Structure 1
Amino acid sequence: MRTITVVGASLAGLYAARELRARGYDGRLVIIGDEPHPPYDRPPLSKDFLSGKAGEDQLALCDDEETDELAAEWLLGVRARGLDARGRSVFLDDGRTVVSDGVVIATGASARRLPGPALAGVHTLRTLDDARALRTELAAGPQRVVVIGGGFIGAETASSCVALGHDVTVVEAAPLPLLPQLGPDMAAVCAALHARGGAELVTGTGVAALYGDTSVRGVELADGRLLPADVVVVGIGAAPNTGWLAGSPLALDDGVLCDDGCVTGLAQVVAVGDVARVGAVRAEHWTSATEQPRVAVGNLLAGRTAETVRPLPYFWSDQYGSRIQFAGRRRHDDTVRILEGSTEEGSFLAAYEREGHTTAVLAVNRPRPFTRMRRGLPTEVPAAA
């Protein structure tokens, strides 16, 4: 391969570029990013960056020295708009075409938005520009903030807003936040963090509409209640960025469909990170974005699926001064047992169990025992096909 193009200057895209050079690929390497920024770390956007504890310089994922070592052509601030039928040409929205021997798709996902007219004061939080805009608005002084969605982004944003002195309400349509990830018992424990932290949590009802003339003034709930709001943050999940691939030969269904080795229907095209549905699973986790590229790049260079990967799911979240960590593959019928600490004191280690075996582990403010338990969880390591 003389030219390999990475579409997406994301965490997964950067790891793919690193892996290419680490495996000895010394050909032309092109990295395309729709944002004008070099790769940056997204998790701090809703935490330290939003609260003002971290600056933009601390978000950078690579420094000048590494950039030089990668020896890549960076095409930033330009979107990919298409892929040709053979998967060897990437078309850009500025009219350029990048002809390649191999393509790594790492275009990530975009924040879902509520339907209706655009109102000032309504934000999503997915990109650096999103975080900049929200941080600027929050700096204007104490405001009434409504966060729609009680998932990780919503909860972390709410926590940061409370720390900044704002009046915060979190609206979650499900009976409990994080219910699919943690199950009812542990989801209830984590939901209690909102009240402890100083935010109001409203569950079991969705949002009917946002109201206001040019700027948002409130949130109308599906049950008829009206919540006054000066700022609204919409955290209702993300959709994979696959629109640019419409009309290509790649199969798309909630992401780019890949085999267990991140290889698409074209051997010269692989996909990694939030946009990739690997082995029927699309996992929006930091670990997927950092572990998939190793196998994907190996298969790309081999021209076939020589390795497969199924990373053990792992995520963490910082909320109201507490660190929540989870790893494993929980099923709805698993039982939960507290191994250390207690839910009442807000510091504990819990194991999910099935037929006498530990399937997953959850910790709140117990990082060291969590790490030990995580290492012992059953996992499927990359193996030769």
Structure 2
Amino acid sequence: MDDLAYQVGLDPIQVRLLNYADKDPSTGKPWSSKSLKQCYERGAELFGWSKRNPQPGQTREGKVLVGWGMASASYPVHSAQGNARVRLFADGHAVAQAAATDLGTGTYTVITQTAADALGLAPDKVRFELGDSVLPTTVISGGSMAAGTVSSSVYLAAQDVLQQLVKVAVMDKKSPLFKAKPADVEVVKGRLQLRATPAKGEGYAEVMQRAQMTDVEGIATGRYGAGYESAQATLNAKSDDAGKDAAGQHSMHSFGAHFCEVHVDPELGTVRVTRWVSVVAGGRILNPKTARSQILGGAVMGIGAALMEAGVRDPHLARYTNANLADYHVCTNADIPDMHVEFIDEHDPYINAMGVKGIGEISIVGTAAAVGNAIFHATGRRLRSVPITPDKVLEAMRQPA
């Protein structure tokens, strides 16, 4: 895309907008949601893209060449489903369970928050249990599937709990909600109350104590991706099968855009990334802090892939000769500038009960391309193999632009 932009004399963002796909080109299906244009717009604004000199090799700071590059990011939704159990106790605490894993990406945090929000409890009143095969089965932590699947199943299990409590309350003559329609009851901060008359209601504990219930258990199956059509259709079901789109009428991707500035020393061939902006559209963001950390981590990995990371094999033994961090170079703090990450506020009613898309992989998609495009803008030479090491830069600088 960057090559095309320069060959036809268009801005790299403009050429992408001219070829913008409002439907999935491979299937012809509409997107469940797509906010890539907003990613371009916000990323360009944050980066100051309008100030970019369109001519490559023309911007300097002292002796170093300065280049700006950008690239798109797209990662497909790998459809999955998983199960969860939520148990609410009469003393006001709750336990959510799913046989998920936390790789350090914040699963403990976001699922605890999901359960707490769904039940109307403070997060410190909820414990999330995972990492044990005796728990309800769910998807692996891979393919950017975990958050969308586990959050959906836990949310639906919590809804199951609340619907059971509401049924008990509206049938209890001693409850202020007696004979109320279940659809007219809402949950606010651990309390069941009438939407139209919030003062008319009571806490979970009162309902459960009168019914001599020590706890209420809810179970549910949550879907992520194809097979889900309307989040609203799940509110009165223990499983979101009620909202499934069996025909798979939508194509589902996360989208984003990365913007990069590099300084290239034409005498030494060194490349340093000096500014970075990533803007991502990932549906509902469960926790902005942990989500930002995932994008930062992926972008750092992408910069490493672009500039230094390479496995070297012995041609006779087929073994890696640099299988250690002394010889296999990865980015350190000194290699990475301050990086700015933002998310587009995106609603996706088709992907799952929570409207959550995966962001684990999209953080690295397009990052090496953004670095390579910035190097071309700085030098006027297109380097097509990664990592773009100083020897490759020096060799390219010897060639005519």
TM-score, with structure 1 as normaliser: 0.23
Q: Which structure has the highest strand share of the two? A: 1
Q: Which has the higher contact order (CA 8 A, sep 6+)?
A: 2
Structure number with greater Rg is: 2
Q: Which has the higher helix share?
A: 2
TM-score by length of 2: 0.22
